[in-house]
Amino acid sequence: GAGVSQSPSNKVTEKGKDVELRCDPISGHTALYWYRQSLGQGLEFLIYFQGNSAPDKSGLPSDRFSAERTGGSVSTLTIQRTQQEDSAVYLCASSSLTGTRNHGYTFGSGTRLTVV
């Protein structure tokens, strides 16, 4: 697509439920990244995909968080047994293999997750 698309844009869930957040990167971008941004805070790196593999998942905060990417395209971030501290904006970004240095990342608009 023309840009990075994330869905849903807003999600309200009850504590303890599982949620899935989706990211559609720019077509042809092999690198995909997930970040978390809590209210008024900076960016917290979660995971990096190159193709379908995740060489860096050092930022996943607990084993309740997992992510996968299929077909070198769409990625899903899953949070199991959600807690109130998981409330945040989840941002996805993508880049081409050779474009990161010159163009940085292209971000989606994010999914605002609220756990009640």
Among residues 11, 13, 22, 43, the one that binds another protein under rule CB under 8 A: 43
SS3 52: coil
Residue in this structure with the two tokens 């941002």, named with its chain if needed: 91
| Under rule CB under 8 A, residue 50 binds another protein | yes
| Under rule CB under 8 A, residue 55 binds another protein | yes
| Under rule CB under 8 A, residue 8 binds another protein | no
In 10 A of CB 77, how many CB atoms? 24
| Under rule CB under 8 A, residue 90 binds another protein | no
Please answer whether residues 92 and 25 qualify as being in contact, where contact means their C-beta atoms are separated by less than 8 angstroms.
yes
| Under rule CB under 8 A, residue 52 binds another protein | no
Measure CA 26 to chain center. Answer: 14
φ, ψ for residue 84 (rounded to 5)?
-65, -30
In 10 A of CB 69, how many CB atoms? 20
Among residues 42, 71, 84, 85, the one that binds another protein under rule CB under 8 A: 42
Contacting range for another protein; rule: CB under 8 A; set: 21-29, 59-67, 77-85, 104-112:
104-112
Report the distance separating Cα 108 and Cα 55, nearest Å. Answer: 21
Among residues 8, 18, 56, 114, the one that binds another protein under rule CB under 8 A: 56
In the complex, the residues that contact another protein under the rule CB under 8 A are: 4, 40-43, 48, 50, 55-56, 91, 93, 95, 100-110
